Amino acid sequence: MISLTLSRIADVLGGTLVLRGADSADTVVSGTVDTDSRLIGPGDIFVAKPGEHADGHDFIPAAMERGAVLAIVERRVDAAITQIVVPGAVHALADLARFVVREVRSRGALQIVGITGSNGKTTTKNMLALILEAEDETVAPQASFNNDVGAPLTMLRVTERTRYLVSEFGASAPGEIARLAGLVHPDVGVVLMVGMAHAGGFGGIESTFVEKSQLIHAVRPGGVAVLNADDPRVAAMAGIAAERGATVRWFGRGSAAEVRAEDVEVTPEGTRFRAIIDGDVFPVVLRVLGEHHVMNALAAIAAATSLGIGPEACLERLETMELAERWRMQPMGSDRVRIINDAYNASPDSMAAALRTLAQITGPDQRTVAVLGAMSELGEYAGEEHDRVGLLAVRLRIQRIVVIGSAARRLYLSAISEGSWDGEAVFFETADDAYEYLMSELRDGDRVLVKSSNSAGLRHLGDRLGESFS
């Protein structure tokens, strides 16, 4: 974080400053801000956020032991650390993030990119960060820090020297993207797609469109909206960009896109394609597994080139990326039995993309095995969307469909009714039971996809299988 006096922070937060020890109102702090006491280091600021299962105020002694010099609290604590008492810790995080980003922006050349979409946010964020980090100091979210807590924590890592801030904006309820993007008003807003992820929380895909479009509403006047030309709902956001005085930069697979891909070829080693960037043609070999990552790469290129970075530099850096993120299309195991662990997140769109990739990378003498769990946050659409995945798995001729958990049982029943009734599809209540089955069932040449939402916990099953066949 930038250097600020204790009194300035208290003013920004509208809080009460409670001094301890030798501290005064003019004492300057500049450490990292965090809500996890385990991540606190010397000189850092600890935010005591009450949680669903634990109260951050109980961890103030642990934060002090690790070197915290300031605690932002909702109630005064009997501890030898300076505190700022605020009405709400999460609101305080947002207020401090807004102030810090505005200060840095006013002092220098900070440029901000915001990314949202039903799928692909984290991969696109990582791709763009890889490009930007080679240019200058870049701050980007760790893992999927894209909510009311994670997004401000990322913003608060900005310093006086930061040139680029990449913010990822997720949403589990209406209004979240407007609130988070409104903290920074990005120079570039990237919308990847509007799909069924989290549709249960919004009441359907049209409501999801309204939520995702809030990023374009928040783009600074004169900024850039990077939009998916292949998604009609995203393309419709061009009108919002025009209202904001923002330029539209299109990416996609169709001829209308300024940044597009042609001749895409998926292999077990990665994806080859021709990138056409503002009329120039470049051969590309992405080592990240999955055809769907081509669109993420195009979005990252469109955003980076809108910031003035040349296409050659973008592509050279992207070609060095081997893994989008842990548990996202992560190759494990060995050539004998290849495990693809993609069980950090799942939506109908990402589930379909992963199944298609499995089919594409499996040779004629190899066998496809899909280990599938539930897709969360679909609300009333959960049943029919799990049905669709079961149908797709059969129509892609996935040879073994292993379904885990009662929340995914509809997927299993759908696969059976579509024709996988002779042992091709099996169901297990627990990952342990599925593991025992797979250890006896898998054989040389198998290509195994493990895919589910994070809540299903199958990423650990993927790790376990990867170790067993490494």
Average pLDDT of the residues in 392-412: 96
* Mean pLDDT for all residues in the chain: 94
Choose one of 33, 63, 87: the last residue of a domain: 87
Is pLDDT at 381 greater than 90 in this prediction? no
Is the same domain home to 28 and 156? no
pLDDT tens digits, 302-311: 999 999 999 9
pLDDT given for residue 203 in this prediction: 63
For 377, the domain range is 330-468
Do residues 206 and 107 both lie within one domain? yes
Answer yes or no: are the C-beta atoms of 360 and 266 closer than 8 Å: yes
Statement: residue 201 has pLDDT above 80:
no
Band (115; pLDDT cuts 50, 70, 90): very high
Residue 363 lies in a domain: yes
Per-residue pLDDT of 409-441, as tens digits, reads 999 999 998 876 677 999 999 999 999 999 999
**pLDDT in the model for residue 199:** 60
Q: What average pLDDT score do residues 175-189 get?
A: 96
pLDDT at 420: 66
Which of 417 and 238 is assigned the larger pLDDT?
A: 238
Are residues 212 and 105 both part of a single domain? yes
Confidence of residue 205 (pLDDT cuts 50, 70, 90): confident
Domain membership of residue 118 (yes or no) is yes
Say if residue 230 is in the same domain as residue 129: yes
Residue 260 lies in a domain: yes
Report the domain count for the chain.
Answer: 3
Domain final position from 87, 118, 152: 87
Split at pLDDT 50, 70, 90, the class of 248 is very high
In a domain, 20, yes or no: yes
Based on the fold, state whether residues 144 and 278 are members of the same structural domain. Answer: yes
CB-CB neighbours of 363 under 10 Å: 9
Which helix (H) or strand (E) element contains residue 441?
helix 431-441
For 278-406, where are the E strands, in sequence order? 280-286, 330-333, 338-342, 367-372, 400-404
For the annotated binding site, the residues are 117-123
Tokens 């109102």 correspond to 25
- Among 318, 339, 364, give the residue marking a domain's end: 318
**pLDDT class of 171 with cuts at 50, 70, 90:** confident
φ/ψ of residue 222, rounded to 5: 90, 0
Tell me if residue 3 falls in helix, strand or coil.
Answer: coil
Q: Which of 72-76, 174-178, 186-190, 433-437 has the lowest average pLDDT?
A: 174-178
**pLDDT at residue 305, rounded to an integer:** 98
CATH number at 272 reads 3.40.1190.10
CA distances from 402 to 30, 237, 430, 457, 468 (A): 51, 39, 11, 15, 18
pLDDT of 75 above 90: yes
What amino acid is encoded at 320 in this protein? Answer: T
| Predicted local confidence at residue 207, as pLDDT | 86
Task: Indicate if 80 and 97 belong to the same structural domain.
Answer: no
Q: What is the pLDDT of residue 118?
A: 87
- 357 part of a folded domain: yes
Instruction: Assess if residue 281 is contained within a domain.
Output: yes
Looking at the fold, whether 256 and 349 belong to one and the same domain comes out as: no
Same structural domain for residues 411 and 340? Answer: yes
Percent of the chain with pLDDT over 70: 98
pLDDT at 421: 66
Q: How confident is the model at residue 69 (pLDDT cuts 50, 70, 90)?
A: very high
Q: Identify the CATH number of the domain in which residue 456 sits.
A: 3.90.190.20
As a whole number, mean pLDDT of residues 132-152 equals 91
Residue 71, domain CATH: 3.40.1390.10
Q: Is residue 323 part of a domain?
A: no
Would the pLDDT of 142 be above 90? no
In a shared domain, residues 258 and 384: no
| CB-CB neighbours of 281 under 10 Å | 9
pLDDT tens-digit profile of 255-301? 999 999 999 998 888 899 999 999 999 999 999 988 889 999 999 99
Confidence of residue 462 (pLDDT cuts 50, 70, 90): very high
| Residue list, annotated binding site for ATP | 117-123
Exposure string of 85-100, with b = 16+ CB inside 10 Å and e = fewer, is: bbeebbebbbbbbbbb
Residues 359 and 267 placed together within one structural domain of the fold: no
Range 372-386 average pLDDT: 92
- The pLDDT of 67-83, averaged and rounded, is 97
Q: Is residue 325 part of a domain?
A: no
Whether 97 and 172 map to the same domain: the answer is yes
Contacts of 206 (CB under 8 A, 6+ apart): none
Residues 127 and 237 in one domain: yes
Biggest alpha carbon distance in the chain? 75
What pLDDT, in 10s, does the model give residues 309-338? 999 999 999 999 988 778 788 999 998 999
